Amino acid sequence: MSSSEAGKIPDLAAEAVLQVSEEIPEGAEEVKGYDFNNGVDWNKIMESYKYTGFQSTNLGLAIDQINKMLNWRLSHEKIGENDIEDPEIRANTKCKIFFAYTSNLISSGLRETIRYLVQHKQVDVIVTSAGGIEEDFIKCLAPTYLGDFSLKGRDLRLKGMNRIGNLLVPNSNYCKFDDFMNPILDAMLEEQKTQGVIWTPSKMIHRFGKEINNPESVYYWAYKNNIPVFCPSITDGSIGDMIYFHSYKNPGLIVDIAADIRGMNDQALSAKKTGMIILGGGLAKHHTCNANLMRNGADYSVFINTAQEFDGSDAGARPDEAISWGKIKINAKPVKLYAEATLVFPLIVASTFARVVEEEKKKTQDQTKQE
């Protein structure tokens, strides 16, 4: 090394390590978490998630996306050709929210959060799998219990216990479900024969919700509020077992799935604006997205699951893949939150739907006081 080079950082290293950054765009958000020196302010804590980074930021973006669904009105849009012109109708035309979830979430305590949304008419269309239907009714008949992920399957089988993750469902619960279902299936078959009733999965679920007559049930409230519930896999679970047994004892019941695909797709096609909130993957996710294909994509979308896309599964597919199929609009800003739904969805509801419900309650109370 020459004397002239002494004390000088090598040019290559300096260029590599001390590279000058471009100017940060104006309005860029800084990363900053919640400072607990300011006390415990739950609203501020929730607001801070968006600026924390990683999946916390996606949680904040999911909250924003759902609030956009809730806030949208047709009156926000310019009146197009052959569009509705009545100002009152436009002001009351909302985004149609498709809410989909997998069966394990009904088995979990998230069922109560889901029921709350349906009870207060916060969603417009429900999509789930067979377990997502039957587990709700079974919980009205007997409880599900906390267990452990490590419990041995052989030991549980010998005891008549069914494990769902770290939840336990006694097999006797399904026996009670059989007792609940059989007279309903008998009545449905009789109505099919004598009145010509065509039973679809959604019509069956509507009937089950009426018959359970229990305000703890998600589908009791779907029945009361006339919220359609679509389940193209209605036979893939205990309901299917009951229908199978019933086909021996009192054969002849027919379930028409073709009418429901018309009903599901028409729900999307007739909407001025649609939003999708999908917890988990599989059938519930695809059926919801595919219906929105009929209108060239949903306007707002939130996916919450833990699946990865490397295996090409629909469950793991990011929203951008759905855009390529026309299931989400190309100018939309969908959000995928990589998280287990029972951890994050109650927080999301607290920052979105629950605020709307509480505001409506307060408004009603204020009007009552004035009267």
The span from the CA of 247 to the CA of 221, in Å, is 29
| Helical segments of the chain, H only | 11-17, 42-48, 54-71, 87-92, 103-107, 110-119, 130-141, 153-159, 171-195, 201-212, 218-224, 238-249, 258-269, 282-293, 319-325, 341-350, 353-370
Single out the residue of 174, 76, 99 nearest to residue 349, CA to CA: 99
Q: Could you tell me whether strands 167-170 and 145-146 are parallel, antiparallel, or unpaired per DSSP bridges?
A: antiparallel
Question: Which residues are known catalytic residues?
Answer: 327
The span from the CA of 196 to the CA of 188, in Å, is 10
Cα distances from 328 to residues 11, 124, 339, in angstroms, run: 49, 18, 21
